[in-house]
Amino acid sequence: MLPVNSTRSIFSTFLLTGIPGLETLHTWISIPFCAMFFITLVGNMTIMMIIWREQTLHVPMYIFLAMLAASDLGLSLFSFPTMLGIFWLDARELTLSACFTQMFFIHTFQDFESAVILAMAFDRYVAISRPLHYSSILTNSIIARISSVIFVRTLSVQVPLPILLRRLCFCHSNVLSHSYCLHPDILKLSCSNTRINSILGLFVVLSTMGLDFLFILLSYVLIVKTVLSIAFHGGRLKVLNTCISHLCAVVLFFTPMICLSMLHRFGPRLPSHIYVLMANTHFLIPPVMNPIVYVVKNKQIRDKILKLFIKKGTRESQVVFMS
C-alpha cells in the first residue's frame, strides 16, 4: 500500500513460514490447499454471478450473501497465493511494503466479513420477528446505507494500521510465524516501541469482530424469544431452519478464532504446526465452506445454479447437433 522507509530497519524483507516441522511434506500438503482454493474461487464467483443475473434474488438476504461471497473471495485471493508459493517454490521472501499490503487486505476482508455476518443476523431477526413489515423495513435505501456503513467502518479502522507500521524499526528478526502477514505477527519483530500499534490493534479487534459477535448473539437471543412464542412445534422448526445457513457461517468464522485465542492463553503447549494449521483454518475454511453450505441449504440458489448449468448444457448439445 505505502512505501516503507527501510533505512531505519536492519531487515528490508520478511520471511514467511510454511508449516514448521512438515517442510518435507509441503508438496503433498499443497494438494488439499489447491483444491480448497479452486472450490473457493468457483463457489463464491458462482454465487455472486447467480445473484447478479437473477432479478428475483435482488432482495436483502441474497444481497448480503453476495457481499459475504465477495469478502470470502477477497480473503482467499490475498492469503492463498503466498501459501502456495511456499509449498511449491519455497518462495518465502516478501518486501516490507508487500507484507503490509497483504496484511491490510487480509484484515480488511476479515472485518468486512464479520460486519456482513452481523448484517445477515439483523436480516434474519427482521424476517422472523417482523415478517409482515420485512420489505418496508429493509428497503433498498436501507441496504445501501448498511453497506456504506460496513465499508466506511472497515476502512476507517484498517487504514491507520499499515501507516503506523511504517514508523517502526525491524531488527529482532525477520521470520514471521505464518504463511501470510498479520498485524500481531509483524509487531513481534519490531525493536521499536509498539505500544500505540498494540493498543490500536486491540481496539480494532474489539470494536469490529468483538462487537459484531456480541450483537450477533443478541440477535439470536431475540430470534429464539420470537420462535418460542410460536404455538406450533412445526412452525418453530420451519422458522429456525431459515437460520441454519447463517448459523453455519457464524460458527465457521468465529469458532476457529476463539479456539485459537483460548489455546494460546490457557491451553497446553502444543507443537507449533498445530497452531499454524489452526490459524490457517480461520482464514481458509470459511471461504471454502460458506458457498457449499448455502448451495446445499438454500433451495433458490441451488435451483438457479442447476438451471444455469442445464441451459449451458442444452446450448452446447444444440451446437454440436447443428454442426
Q: Which fold has domain 10-322?
A: Rhopdopsin 7-helix transmembrane proteins (1.20.1070)
Span 96-121, pLDDT tens digits: 999 999 999 999 999 999 999 999 99
Is residue 143 over pLDDT 70? Answer: yes
Distances (CA, A) of 3 to 61, 81, 169, 200, 287: 40, 22, 14, 21, 30
Q: Provide the pLDDT confidence category of residue 5 given band limits of 50, 70 and 90.
A: very low
3 or 122: whose pLDDT is higher?
122
Is residue 318 over pLDDT 60? Answer: no
Q: What is the pLDDT of residue 314?
A: 62
CA-angle at 45, arms to 42 and 50, nearest 5°: 115
Is residue 2 over pLDDT 70? Answer: no
With cell 412452525, the residue in question is: 235
Q: What is the pLDDT of residue 155?
A: 95
The DSSP annotation for 110-176 comes to HHHHHHHHHHHHHHHHHHHH-GGGHHHHS-HHHHHHHHHHHHHHHHHHHTHHHHHHTT--B-S--B-
79 or 8: whose pLDDT is higher?
79
Residue-range domain boundaries for the chain? 10-322
Task: Give CA–CA dist 247/294, Å, rounded.
Answer: 11
Q: What is the pLDDT of residue 299?
A: 84
- Mean residue pLDDT across the chain: 85
Q: Supply the pTM of this predicted model.
A: 0.89
Span 222-257, pLDDT tens digits: 999 988 887 677 777 888 888 899 999 999 999 887
